[in-house]
Amino acid sequence: MPIATGSKTYKIAVIPGDGIGPETVGAALEVLEVLQRILGTFKLDYEHLDWSSDRYFAQGKYLPDDWMEVLKPKDAIFFGAVGHPKVPDHISLWELLLPIRQRFQQYANVRPSRMIKGVKSPLANCKPEDLDWVIVRENTEGEYAGQGGRTHISQDWEIGTELAIFSRYAIRRIFHFAFQVAEKRPRKLLTFVTKSNAQRSGMVLWDEVAYEVAKEYPHVTMDKMLVDAMTTRMVFKPASLDTIVATNLHADILSDLAASIAGSIGIAPASSIDPTRKYPSTFESVHGSAPDIAGQGIANPIATMWAAVEMLEWIGEHDAARIWMEAIEEVCAAGTTTPDLGGTENTAGVTEAVKQIIEK
């Protein structure tokens, strides 16, 4: 079916990356083809980029010199995974994903977690109505700011420092973003997470800025948690939480916990957003490249598909996003899932099932 006249075209950079990335991105692209054909209201103009560990082996670099010029005009970046057993993780992450997040000021990393019908939580007490969270992760600072170093290399007295950087500017903007997420949700509840009892500088600054920004959102209820106590609350009182905001490191860890409580990290999406829209935002799974199962065709494609749903929402294709998410939920409810969700299907089987529901 031809694309309807008047349809909008979006420029998308596709970076499948490493390991299972090409498999899950490939699955999502298949569904996107179906959505474009069926709806006829939008078109995605892809630029496929081979920025990966294989490129690093061949050319010595993950990113080409002109990567910013390539990405900047795009409406979104659709990303698979990064990580290769033969490359230290801090090299692959710092050579590919972190420069994009930092240079493009994708300061809000949004990680929704909810229990999709048919997906069981490993926690017996956790029912679907108990778990509907959005974790907002500060995405540019903290321990991931790249500040630190090593001295006395290879000596017994070698020292490695990892400075956690927190600026009032970045804390303020992530709180504004988190409050704006919270106020659009029915419960209007924001929990912020720090470790300001033990860490008495940057984390105390987080606390102070939280209460300052809160004054501008009087209709949102805010509460504060220390990160250690937060893990317990997530496990034992999931229904007491809604929107959560935390530092880069804390939210990275808490969102893996959240995804596991919701059933599997294989379904969790992550959007690295520049809310100003000056730069493109990146949409990817929370999970990494899973080299142990790469190439076997058994990776769960749902996290990458859900990330693509978030990308469609971001570019404004809400109908396509809703149709796809409903299809994902129907497939999971029917038990057509990969082994991490207790099913027996492979990547292709789940993808086919999603496509069939959309096409019917």
Residues at the contact surface with ligand GGG, assessed by CB under 6 A: 81-83, 93, 252, 284-285, 287-289
Return the number of the residue (110 or 358) whose C-beta is nearest ligand GGG: 110
Instruction: Map residue 7 onto helix, strand or coil.
Output: coil
Q: Could you tell me the smallest distance in angstroms from the CB atom of residue 176 to ligand GGG?
A: 22
Q: Which residues of 172-197 are buried (b: 16+ CB within 10 A; e: fewer)?
A: ebbbebbbebbeeeeebbbbbbbbbe
**Cross-strand bridge partners of residue 138:** 108
Return the number of the residue (142 or 238) whose C-beta is nearest ligand GGG: 142
Q: Could you tell me the smallest distance in angstroms from the CB atom of residue 357 to ligand GGG?
A: 25
Q: Could you tell me the smallest distance in angstroms from the CB atom of residue 284 to ligand GGG?
A: 4
Q: Could you tell me the smallest distance in angstroms from the CB atom of residue 143 to ligand GGG?
A: 10
Strands (E), the chain: 8-17, 42-48, 76-81, 108-114, 132-138, 148-151, 159-162, 189-194, 221-226, 243-246, 269-273, 281-285
Q: Could you tell me the smallest distance in angstroms from the CB atom of residue 247 to ligand GGG?
A: 12
Return the number of the residue (252 or 330) whose C-beta is nearest ligand GGG: 252
- Residues, the chain: 360
Among 38, 112, 122, residue whose Cα is nearest residue 327? 38
Q: Which helix (H) or strand (E) holds 31?
A: helix 21-39
Return the number of the residue (118 or 263) whose C-beta is nearest ligand GGG: 263
Q: Which residue's Cβ has the minimum distance to ligand GGG?
A: 81
CA pair distance 317, 319, nearest whole angstrom: 6
Q: Could you tell me the smallest distance in angstroms from the CB atom of residue 282 to ligand GGG?
A: 9
Return the number of the residue (271 or 337) whose C-beta is nearest ligand GGG: 271
Return the number of the residue (22 or 83) whose C-beta is nearest ligand GGG: 83
* Residues 51 and 96 sit within 8 Å (Cβ to Cβ): yes
Q: What is the DSSP letter of 94?
A: I
Return the number of the residue (82 or 358) whose C-beta is nearest ligand GGG: 82
Residue where the block lists tokens 């919270």: 182
Q: Could you tell me the smallest distance in angstroms from the CB atom of residue 140 to ligand GGG?
A: 11
